[in-house]
Amino acid sequence: MSTKRTPFYQKHLTAGGKMVDFAGWEMPIHYGSQLQEHKQVRSDAGVFDVSHMTILDLKGTDSKAYLQHLLANDVAKLTSSGKALYSCMLNNSAGIVDDLIVYYIDEMFYRIVVNAGTREKDIAWMQQQLQGYQATLTERSDLAMLAVQGPNARTKVFSLMPAHELAIAEPLKPFTGAFIGDWFIARTGYTGEDGFELMFPATQAEKVWDAILAAGIAPIGLGARDTLRLEAGMNLYGTDMDETTSPLVSGLGWTIAWEPNSRDFIGRKALEAEKAAGVQHKFVGLVLEDKGVLRSHMKVHCEGGEGEITSGTFSPTLGLAIAMARVPASCGEHCQVDIRGKLHRAKVVKPNFVRHGKSVLA
């Protein structure tokens, strides 16, 4: 199957993007220096092409009831238009089908953004669960999507807006979005920095890209996106969790809305059974205390047994090797990581390392 291209493909080439296959899409891994791009987002502002993500609009009288059954988190928490909710979508055994963001527009309209690599299975699963509900799910393949992130991101985006648009965008609180004509602008992201995710007609893609770059916002590739999200302690689907892991062993227990007890969401019974039996593993952050770099699939040796790194990298912001790992629930404050046959000391921390450009390590 041939790889797909976003509406920004030619712009990536013009900007010097090194293109790679990512989830069936030709995407830029970097534009010359992944390290420089990482620092650009932490210190100023960068733009990511995220048009490979799947945007779905759910409309109908049963939209809310459907999502309350489909998702582990509860959309009933959403009462103001544009408010966003992060949730896992589980299978019957509490494995994670995908993680997603859902935006509440009104009681009969929700916008959902799911991952690129899970598009086909997600849509098939969601359509299957939709049977019996008065609602329709529509893929918005007519839309492009950009994320502008960094401490100066909002100010630089505001510089491109006329007064009537600014009046809508400027008051937006974190994790909230709003429609501006046929655009949807949301104060969300995947970097641990402030900024916006912009969804707009794909026909405007090249014009928008040029304007954003002209405002002093640099293009950023998938390489820096990964180190930024790892520093921020944000899970990557297929790496840190999948259909074989539950939210309880993926650091995502906070996304489960157990109340009200009457809400019978998919996977609830399996989660309750897992909880009652005693959760065997926990999801932690690791900071390497010796020299080296932490990578995914490296074995972690704890007092309570063996675990595994799910994501690892060298943190440009901290100047340290960091990782996220799934380890035995009894694992203490220190462990050892097997790096090429040698054991290296690591400190066990919360899986969150950097927020708004600053270390959150104790």
Confidence band, pLDDT 50/70/90 cuts, at residue 212: very high
In this predicted structure, the answer to whether residue 133 has a pLDDT above a threshold of 80 is yes
Q: Dmax of the chain from CA atoms?
A: 61
Q: When comparing pLDDT for 362 and 292, which is higher?
A: 292
For residues 123 and 137, give the distance between their C-alpha atoms in angstroms, rounded to a whole number: 9
Q: What is the pLDDT of residue 1?
A: 62
Query: How much is the average pLDDT of 196-205?
Result: 98
294 phi/psi in degrees, rounded to 5: -90, 135
For residues 252 and 221, give the distance between their C-alpha atoms in angstroms, rounded to a whole number: 26
Q: Each residue of 143-155: pLDDT tens digit? A: 999 999 999 999 9
For residues 9 and 7, give the distance between their C-alpha atoms in angstroms, rounded to a whole number: 6
Query: How much is the average pLDDT of 272-289?
Result: 98
Q: What is the pLDDT of residue 362?
A: 76
Q: Each residue of 98-118: pLDDT tens digit? A: 999 999 999 999 999 999 999
Contacts with 151 (C-beta within 8 Å, 6 or more apart), sequence order? 42, 43, 44, 45, 193, 194, 356, 357
Average pLDDT, the chain: 97
Question: What per-residue string of b and e applies to 298-312 under the rule 16 or more CB within 10 Å gives b?
Answer: bebbbeeeebbbbbb
Q: Each residue of 233-272: pLDDT tens digit? A: 999 999 999 999 999 999 999 999 999 999 999 999 999 9
In this predicted structure, the answer to whether residue 172 has a pLDDT above a threshold of 70 is yes
For residues 274 and 277, give the distance between their C-alpha atoms in angstroms, rounded to a whole number: 5
Confidence band, pLDDT 50/70/90 cuts, at residue 2: confident
Q: Whose structure tokens read 């046959």?
A: 341
Please provide the size of the chain in residues: 362
Confidence band, pLDDT 50/70/90 cuts, at residue 304: confident
Q: Each residue of 40-82: pLDDT tens digit? A: 999 999 999 999 999 999 999 999 999 999 999 999 999 999 9
pTM: 0.97
